[in-house]
Amino acid sequence: MRHAAWIAFTVLAPASGFSQKPTSLDAGSIPKEFTGYQGTLLIELQNSRKWDGRAQKAFTQEYRGPVKFVQAQEVGSYEDTENYRFLLSRDRYVKEIGGFEATTYYERLRLVDRTTGTSTSSPSTDFEGQLLKTYAKELERMRKR
């Protein structure tokens, strides 16, 4: 049965679009309120050496604005929502495709506007490094506007 599930996954996953490398973001992945943002972007660390390292690398290389990498329990201590308006975090889940549960984790980035409580999300992917890099580039482009 495991073999049949694997075959179904390898056939269905590429067709579903979930295993595509993100080279661009959907409209609405980043709120228009981020345009010209000069405050410090908070990035929530995940206690995952791999993910945290990739996030730090992507935002160090691609994003030129001020960034603060924080643990989830520290976010509340950044009460100044004018300077720390946006929080970037990761949503991670296993996707069911064609009735089979995939063994691959899918990720999407969520950008929360802490002044309004609203959030936007990136497309889902299993290429977290590429997603982080693409998202950091787009945030930088929006920030410079």
Q: What is the CATH number of the domain that holds 75?
A: 3.40.50
Half-sphere exposure of 22 (CA within 13 A, CB side): 26
The DSSP H or E segment spanning 106 is strand 100-113
Residue 138 · residue 30 · CB < 8 Å: yes
How is residue 46 written in tokens? Answer: 């995940």
pLDDT of 129 reads: 86
b/e per residue 112-129 (b: at least 16 CB within 10 A): bbbeeeebbebbbbbbbb
Q: pTM, whole model, 2 decimals?
A: 0.76
57: containing domain: 2-144
How is residue 143 written in tokens? Answer: 């920030």
The 10s digit of each residue's pLDDT in 71-100 is 999 999 999 999 999 999 998 777 677 777
Report the chain's terminal Cα–Cα distance, integer Å.
Answer: 53
What's the domain count of the chain?
1
DSSP 122: P
pLDDT of 56 reads: 96
For the chain, which ranges sit under pLDDT 50? 1-22
pLDDT of 24 reads: 59
